[in-house]
Structure formats: structure tokens, C-alpha cells
Amino acid sequence: MTYTLLPTFGTLFESLWEFLSSGVAITIYFVILFLCIAALIGTVLIMIREEDKNKAKDERVGAGAVTDENGEIIVDDDDDGITSRFHSLVQMDRAYAAYRAPVYDDDITLTDICRNFRNYAAANLGLYYSEEDVRRFIAGIGVSHLLVMQGLSGTGKTSMATAFGNYLNNPSTVVSVQPMWKERSDIIGYFNEFTKRFSEGTLLKKLYEARYTDEIYVIVLDEMNIARVEYYFADFLSQMELSPANRYLEVVSDTWKDDPKLLERGRLRIPENVWFIGTANNDDSTFAVSDKVYDRAMIMNLDRKAEEFIPVGNDGNRISFAHFTDLVREAKARFRLSDEMREKIRAVDEFLTERFRVTYGNRIRRQMEEYIPLYLACGGQEIDAVDDMLAKKVLRKLDGLSPIVIRYSMDELEELFTATFGADKMPLCRDSLDRLRRNAQ
């Protein structure tokens, strides 16, 4: 009798290994891997599609769509008959068709504005600012439509910008800058290819609304240097170099027949009655504000809180853009930089040019010629306005120079200020010199 012996464990292992390492098994492995990758890609695509659908739904709800208790849309924004990709802007076209301008307080002066705003902020908002800071603020916006407020956190930079909108009875719009912002679409919005609608940012809506009124609009770029200003705000910086009639912001690159009325070939003319006020903190979490921004903007340093005072309450003033423009024009015509002060400024400029190879260009010279008359019209003194401009626009250009050069010439520069302006004058410039001396140690 013959018995068939069962294969040993080693024989079974060898057979299994031969199969697993065969060409057929490897083919099966690749098929399984391909199916797994395909399943993973399919899952990701489904998730992205659902996310886009939810985002589109949120945009429709934000534009006016109504949902039931389950979150399903039952009344769409298209029920108002608007099919344009710019839903909110077309809504404004309808809303402002019968617009009537309010009654403005157009008998007010720049001095009145400074006094009333300071009292309004203290009485109604509990915010206290010195007379000098309020003059610098009002004179600054009279020179440029971009004002950068910088200083220590908690000194009231954002509060002052928003308080001014409340004082004007046209609340400021606060745009919180995000660290990842790099381009224009981050601040005005973008076209959603899935919904075929433009996601209109708050800034774009305010710019469009301002085209319909003569109100003064304040847009606050809160913590503007948490991202690079010259990246996301580049278009606006470039437009500031042009005459007001030629300042256009490209929103889209094409034209649709149902686009908003004030959109010209996909472009929106930037209204003159809009001011951008950026708040900037100087710490490790922010970027340094570049010279490109500094030179085009007016700068306001807010480094300390003002003392409290007993305010005279008021309800604010509704001031038209046209009247404010007239006040600025009248101030520049009435007040001039005196010849004596012009010679003193020239002496400082010559010293900085000879010793540090630092000078200021025509843009800063023009700003100085405009700022000083406005500061005087706001009730200030000429020497205080010169002190402010030299400190924040000229002496700041010494930052970054070699510490050896600073130490070698700082005493002479301080002596020049004493001989030219007086021993107890120009406190802001002297603070700048002390800071430069400390940094050069």
C-alpha cells in the first residue's frame, strides 16, 4: 500500500512565495493600488465639490437667499430678478435710483471739525485724543487719501479711525487684513467659476456705494502690515499717482450685458470721497512698511494716550466731500510756509545731504507744502507742523544707516536743530534723534 505524504510547511511556504513573486501577483498588486488611488482621488473630488456647493450656498444666502429649517434654499436671490454676476452692486443701482442727498453741515470750518470731533469722541465714545493728534489726523487726510497710523498697541489707532466715521454719521468700514493676502482679489473679491458669480468683497461694495453719494467714506485697513502692503494694495498705490479722473480699478477682464451701471469695461473708477486709513503695529508678527507706501501716504505716530478732559458733547457733523475739498483748497490758498521757515528746512536738508547722503524728493516736498497750511487752518502753529513733518518724513530716512555714521554725526545734527529752531523747540524731531542714538549704541 502506497501513502501520499502531506507537503511539509517549508514546501507550502516556497510555493506561496513563488506565487506572490510571480508576474501575475505583481499585476494584481498594481491593479489594487490603482483602484485605491482612484478611490482616494474620487473621495477628494467629491469633498471639494461639496465644499464648493456649500460655499456657493453660503454666498447665495449672504446675498439674500432664504432657507428652511433644514438649511435648504427655498427663496433664491434670483427671485428679486437680479441675474447679474454682481448681485450686490446691481442691488445698489436699484437702491440709489431714487437717492436724495441728506442735509450737510457745510458751514463748518477745519478748526470746528477738529474741536467737534475731539469732543464727540470723548463724550460719546470715551476716547480721548490731544488737540495736536486731532490736527495731525485732519491735516493728514487733507493731504493724502492714504493715512498710515502707527505706534504702540492700545494707543487708539483703530478707535480713532472708526470714531471719525461715527462723527461724520457715516460709520467707517473696517477691513481686517489677513496674513496670507498677496493680491488684489484678496481685498476686493473674485469670480467664482462654479457659481458664475463674483464674490463681492466689502471693500468693493463700499467703493461702489461711494460713487453714488457725496458722503465722506473711511475704510480702515486694520493691522495693514500683517501682510505685505505693497502686494495686496499695489493697484491702489499705483492709482494714487494718477489724477483722480484716471484712477480705475480693474475688477474683471471682460464685460457682460447685465453688469452694474458704474462698471466701465470691467473697471470701477475709484471715487475721490474714499479715504484709506491703515493701522500698523511694529512687532515681530508684522512686516516693515516699505518706502513705497511711506512716501505715498501721510504718516501719523500715535505713541501715547492723551489725558482725559471734560468734553462738550455733540452729535457729530455730516460733512459733504465737496465742502471738505473746498476747506482744503481754501486753507492752501490762505496759509503759506513762511520764507523764514523755508530757509530753516533748507538748512536741515543741506546738512542731511552732505553728511548722510540722505534727502527727500519732490513728493515729500509737495506734502510738506500742503500739510503745513492745513495744520495752520486746523488751529495749530507752523513750527509744530514742521516738527511733525521732519520727524516722520525726513528723519526716518536715517533708519538703516550705519551706526558708526549715526554716532559720529548725531551731536552735530542736534546742535543744528538747536541753533536753527531753538533749544526748547522741535520735540518730535528730538525724540527721533534720541531713538536713532539709542539704536546706534
What pLDDT score was predicted for residue 69?
41
CA distance 129 to 118: 6
**Which amino acid is located at 279 in the chain?**
T
Q: Residue 16 is inside which H or E element, if any?
A: helix 9-20
What pLDDT score was predicted for residue 81?
76
CA distance 18 to 96: 82
Burial of 368 (0-12, 13-18, 19+ CB in 10 A): buried
C-alpha cell at 193: 467659476
Annotated domain spans of the chain: 24-65, 110-301, 336-439
C-alpha cell at 250: 480693474
CA distance 138 to 374: 8
At 402 the three-state DSSP class reads coil
CA distance 38 to 32: 10
Q: Residue 200 is inside which H or E element, if any?
A: strand 197-200
DSSP string for residues in 116-178: HHHHHHHHHH-----HHHHHHHHHHHHH-SEEEEESSTTSSHHHHHHHHHHHTTSPPEEEE--
- 311 Ramachandran zone, left/alpha/beta (phi>0; psi -120 to 50): beta
Residue 22 DSSP label: S
The CA R_g of the chain, rounded to the nearest whole Å, is 31
Q: Identify which of 336, 269, 258, 302 has the alpha carbon closest to the alpha carbon of residue 86.
A: 258
Q: Is the separation of the CB atoms in 178 and 142 below 8 Å?
A: no
Name the pairing type of β-strands 197-200 and 189-192.
antiparallel
What pLDDT score was predicted for residue 5?
46
Would you tell me how many other CB atoms lie within 10 Å of the CB of residue 174? 17
Alpha helices of 211-313 — where are they, by DSSP H? 229-232, 234-239, 291-296
At 439 the three-state DSSP class reads helix
What pLDDT score was predicted for residue 113?
97
Q: Is the separation of the CB atoms in 377 and 368 below 8 Å?
A: no
CATH architecture entry for 110-301: 3-Layer(aba) Sandwich (3.40)
Provide the strand spans (E) within 206-266. 217-222, 248-250, 263-264
**Tens digits of per-residue pLDDT, 158-200?**
999 999 999 999 999 999 999 999 998 999 999 998 888 999 9
> For every one of its 441 residues, what pLDDT tens digit does the chain have, with 9 covering 90 and above?
444 444 565 666 666 666 667 777 778 877 788 888 888 887 877 777 766 666 655 555 454 443 434 454 433 444 467 888 999 999 999 999 999 999 999 899 999 999 999 999 999 999 999 999 999 999 999 999 999 999 877 778 899 999 999 999 999 999 999 999 999 899 999 999 888 899 999 999 999 999 999 999 999 999 999 999 999 999 999 898 888 889 999 999 999 999 999 999 999 999 999 999 999 887 766 788 888 888 889 999 988 888 899 999 899 999 999 999 999 999 999 999 999 999 999 999 999 998 888 888 888 899 999 999 999 999 999 999 999 999 999 988 888 788 888 888 888 999 999 999 998 899 999 999 998 888 877
Sign (positive or negative) of CA dihedral 269, 165, 160, 314: positive
Q: Identify which of 431, 163, 139 has the alpha carbon closest to the alpha carbon of residue 303.
A: 431
